Amino acid sequence: MSAAILTIASKNYGSWSLRGWLMCRMAGLAFEERTLPADDPTARAELLLLSPSFLVPRLEHDGITVWDTLAIAEYLAEIKPKAGLFPADAKARAHCRSISGEMHSGFANMRSAMPMNIKARYAGHKVFAGALGDIQRITAIWRECLEMYGGPYLFGDKPTVADAMYAPVTTRFRTYDVHRDRISDGYCRTIAAWTLMEEWTAAAKAEPEDFEELDVEF
């Protein structure tokens, strides 16, 4: 049996689960994946209340339990320092932590107006006005990083914690047909073509429909 266990919720709807899963895979950590059932209160909390602070994703490793995506990121960086989850340069590393923290604690309007739903496509969807400011800020972050560090990922030629944090947003932009400039569209394409994202997306599309209520408003 694997030395680590990662507990997640839905792959189609679970944006925080996706972030934690990406980080574990990026770190090269061998883990057993466990999925909470649809009626589990913790799973429903992540999916319906859109909070980063519930107990999924949850990583159990060597007798240690870590939840919350940023806590998982820092733990993995400690035990897998050679994985490069954060940039090597101190200035870039601080920048990475800052924009990851901004994703973790902000953009509530976008989250509530545009829940992650990888299977769905809403062509011509009218984005709620309150979410537009969040979208503009996110794309500004992407443009700044891509121009500063050269891409194709936010901090250069290798994905970091920041890319894991913003990966679910790229799926939301595709689902809700959000207009993107050339740079932002290129970044979304980079993330979509990332091998780990292709693996997660395929699993999401094969997932049973256990959360139909999440589609009611759309």
Per-residue pLDDT of the chain (218 residues; tens, 9 = 90+): 458 999 998 899 999 999 999 999 999 999 999 998 767 766 666 665 555 567 889 999 999 999 999 999 999 999 999 999 999 999 999 999 999 999 999 999 998 899 999 999 999 999 988 899 999 999 999 999 999 999 999 999 999 999 999 999 999 999 999 999 999 999 999 999 999 999 999 999 999 876 555 554 43
Contacts with 162 (C-beta within 8 Å, 6 or more apart), sequence order: 96, 99, 100, 103, 145, 154, 155
CATH 1.20.1050 residue spans of the chain: 90-201
Backbone torsions φ then ψ of 7, nearest 5 degrees: -100, 130
Backbone torsions φ then ψ of 82, nearest 5 degrees: -80, -5
Q: 168 and 151 in contact (C-beta within 8 Å)?
A: no
CATH domain 4-83 topology? Glutaredoxin (3.40.30)
CATH of 90-201, one of 3.60.70, 1.20.1050, 1.20.120, 1.10.3470: 1.20.1050
- Residue 53, amino acid: S
Please state, as a whole number, how many other Cβ atoms lie within 10 Å of the Cβ of residue 8. Answer: 23
- Residue 108, amino acid: A
Distance CA 151, CA 159 (A): 9
Contacts with 27 (C-beta within 8 Å, 6 or more apart), sequence order: 76, 77, 79, 80, 83, 85
Q: 17 and 8 in contact (C-beta within 8 Å)?
A: yes
CATH 3.40.30.10 residue spans of the chain: 4-83
